[in-house]
Amino acid sequence: MHFAKTSVDGAMVIDPAPHADTRGRFMRAWCLKEFADQGIAFEPVQANMGLSTRRGTVRGMHFQEAPASEAKLVRCTRGAMFDVVLDLRLESPSYGAWHGVVLSGDNGRMLYLPEGCAHGYQTLEADTEMHYMTSAFYTPTTVRGVRFDDPAFGIVWPLAVTEISEQDSNWPPATCVPGHVASAPHLAV
């Protein structure tokens, strides 16, 4: 596995270094030791899968508050997606920054998101399937989000949005998320 830092402190793009031969390819999807060697203490407790049928679908930007804050390891298993990590940690040197990367079933690339960051993605192909592991269990009472198109962050999505859930289109702007972004003067809208 090859780990590359991003503009978000602690977030990493991971290339799995596949081994290919005449039968196809084999790659490691997760290794506790390799993550620990990079200083990442990530121990997944839950794995989830999602399928988006339409190209241009946006899901996000989601996070869980303490005590259920979670780190995530995201990969695309079929199709392609533009995956985004957004730093909402007030104490972080990269607070307010975001990083986007194309994950696809072909490239096998993964994105690691540390606790305190929001996650979202846009499908680049129809019938895109994603898989992610989390360090905390899904806890509905702690789920929060910020708008995918909040000008305070300026996330640049590669395609026009063709579909988004009612919940995701109704997340509040950054200035209304107590304890995460409301008090940041450089993010005032």
Q: What CATH number corresponds to the domain at position 23?
A: 2.60.120.10
pLDDT tens, residue by residue, 75-85: 999 999 999 99
pLDDT tens, residue by residue, 116-159: 999 999 999 999 999 999 999 999 999 999 999 999 899 999 99
Closest to 62 in 3D by CA, of 7, 103, 121, 129: 121
Gap between the Cα atoms of 137 and 150, Å rounded:
27
Instruction: Give the per-residue pLDDT at 186.
Output: 35
pTM of the model: 0.91
Gap between the Cα atoms of 96 and 87, Å rounded:
5
121 has catalytic annotation: no
Of 62, 99, 119, 180, catalytic: 62
Q: Which domain holds residue 34?
A: 2-187
62 has catalytic annotation: yes
- Total of domains in the chain: 1
Closest to 165 in 3D by CA, of 80, 61, 76: 61
